[in-house]
Structure 1
Amino acid sequence: MTPRAERIAGQGALHDSVLDAIGIRITSGELSAGDVLTLEAIQDRYGVSRTVARETMRLLESRGLVTSKRRVGITVQPMSSWQVYDPKVIWWRLSGPDRDAQLRSLTELRIAVEPLAAAAAARGASAAERDRAVELAAAMRERGDAGELKEFLDLDTEFHALLLRAGGNEMFAALTEVVAVVLRGRTTLGLMPHKPVAKALDLHEAVAAAVAEGRREDAEDAMRELLAEVRDAMTR
């Protein structure tokens, strides 16, 4: 890597670390709506350049967490202004005391959307997508039974992304990264059992089989039951 590339990579890492730190402070409530930040305070607290501080504020503003106005400063915004579908915002909320509420709202969103996405996939998926859904469900059972959670997570993420896209609904497809963040969050934050429960594995296979065979109602029902199991597990 050239010296210039190293500098750019280093600046990117600084942006990410400071962005995450301030994002978590806002979404956790440590910084409240109406609090005012300054570039100078950010530079001093995190030991970064003014360029990094300014870029961090720009990224927070693009997500609705702050606004910047001349002669007013950088002001923290209420949750109603946040880009709540942004994967970074979701991750920050999952990393803080708002975790349970965020998981609940995201699970309710999934229950509303993913059963319909599964039905759409049963109607419109390509032959390759139907075959891949079955392959993924079988691999998930193998990895799940072995307690290999990282590998299981990768397969589970691909499985749900495939179904969100396969039906051809661009609104469903736009939620792919949102669902991926939820799945990663449950595993990374220790909210998954050591092994996925047998019922969840059965239901993934039921969804895959229904999609592969074009059974729309069965795909929708199996996905709804699968997500109900997820909701109940979170409650427990």
Structure 2
Amino acid sequence: MRGNRVLALILGGALVLGAAVVGAGLYFLRPLPAEPLALEALRGGVKRPYGYLLAPEAPKALLAFYPGARVDPRAYAPLLAPLTRKGYAVALLQVPLGIALLAKERGLEAGRELGLPLVLGGHSLGGVAAAEVAAREGLPLILFASYPEEDLSDKTLPTLALYGTEDGLLPPEEARKKAGRLPRGARVVFIEGLNHAGFGAYGAQKGDRPAKRAREVLWREVREEVLLFLEGLGWDTPTSPQTLR
């Protein structure tokens, strides 16, 4: 009898511990939801197996974009959806548990479906995934508040890297050091007043600093840099943007 009681206590304790671990995992992996503003910006998009597709009638290229860790990919719609008015399709990639490293090939899936010239981009951890695949496949790369995990400075790969002067998760001084890992000829730009979460519309992020300018103004400046990069690629013979460090 005593043995059965001890066993029951052990099993009960294990169940409680397991439930606590699962609960903690769900808590820390809970997504950072897209704001209503972002959902509105996504109107007209199409749900695809790899995520959400926004495309004009005759797109000239595709930007496949990996979200930051635990961020709803739709949160980037206010920033990136207007690119469709300039002729570019945008795929906001949906990844398991909001972790882009668990679905690094998703951008290539989008590219295969549309059969367009492909650019990979990503925010924060999503940029790490984008950089790995872009380096392997020789594709143009756009990074928001991110840098490659591996040193790519020996590679010539068209690259745009944007950072915020108010980023609390990747402060400017650290971003400048990490920029040494970027491909040769990368264009590096620090957006004045922009923070880490300011690249999307998903609310404040723990450890970040407040943005110091209106986000609509910041989004416009980021989008202008992205468009300048895309327009300068030259799809027949891609060229590296001028370095700005």
* TM-score bucket (shorter structure): under 0.3
Give TM-score scaled by structure 1 length.
0.24
Q: Which structure: greater strand fraction?
A: 2
Task: Between the two structures, name the one with larger relative contact order (CA 8 Å, sep ≥ 6).
Answer: 1
TM-score with structure 2 setting the length: 0.24
